[in-house]
Amino acid sequence: MKRFFDLILTIPALLLLWPVLLILGLLVRIKLGSPVLFRQTRPGLHGKPFQIIKFRTMRDAFNPDGTLLPDCDRLTPFGRFLRSTSLDELPELINVLKGEMSLVGPRPLLMQYLERYSPLQARRNEVIPGITGWAQVNGRNALSWNDKFALDVWYVDNQSGMLDLKILWLTIGSILKPNDVCQPGHATMEEFMGNNDPEN
């Protein structure tokens, strides 16, 4: 039922939003250059890798030694706008169409985090990752990692069609009032380095 729910919402959304996707793609190309789309390997259901697709929000900028500058130095005002409105996430509808993601579920993080999770935190990978989720409508990047993972696991244990509808509705509100896009003191979210507390 969840897959059917994803498809009956995603297919019409892609048909309606393709002009928006085209315009955003052109703006990204003009303001940030190529590539327009950001692709990165992320863990899906049970940690199976897939390529997430998003609009690019950062410019290429390097230190004299050739290493990339920190995110805060590469994230442009236009990129911040895309992130605060979640417009950079729209291409992930293609991931949903392919069955790699769901509309609702824990956000897919980085592959290197898999080995850093506690057994409890690793339960977030028991469901298909989502474009939006319970943690996103309850604080987003303003949350600590422990709080975010606790909300993800709560979703795994309590998921239902009604809960997904509630999360989608709350997501619309969070987009209209863009808060908590960045963790305090960081351009996005600080790296998760692991947690030795077995209760988290």
In the chain, how many H helices and how many E strands?
6, 4
Number of neighbouring beta carbons within 10 Å of residue 194? 12
Length of the chain: 200
Q: Could you tell me if 77 and 27 are in contact, meaning their C-beta atoms sit under 8 angstroms apart?
A: no
For residues 45 and 156, give the distance between their C-alpha atoms in angstroms, rounded to a whole number.
Answer: 12
Q: Could you tell me if 56 and 82 are in contact, meaning their C-beta atoms sit under 8 angstroms apart?
A: no
pLDDT tens digits for the chain (200 residues)?
A: 899 999 999 999 999 999 999 999 999 999 988 899 999 999 999 999 999 999 998 877 666 776 766 666 778 889 889 988 889 999 999 999 999 999 999 999 999 999 999 999 999 999 999 999 999 999 877 788 999 999 999 999 999 999 999 999 999 887 766 555 554 444 567 889 887 454 55
**Beta bridge partners of residue 105, listed in sequence order:** none
- Residues in Cβ contact with 114 at an 8 Å cutoff, skipping those fewer than 6 apart: 43, 47, 122, 125
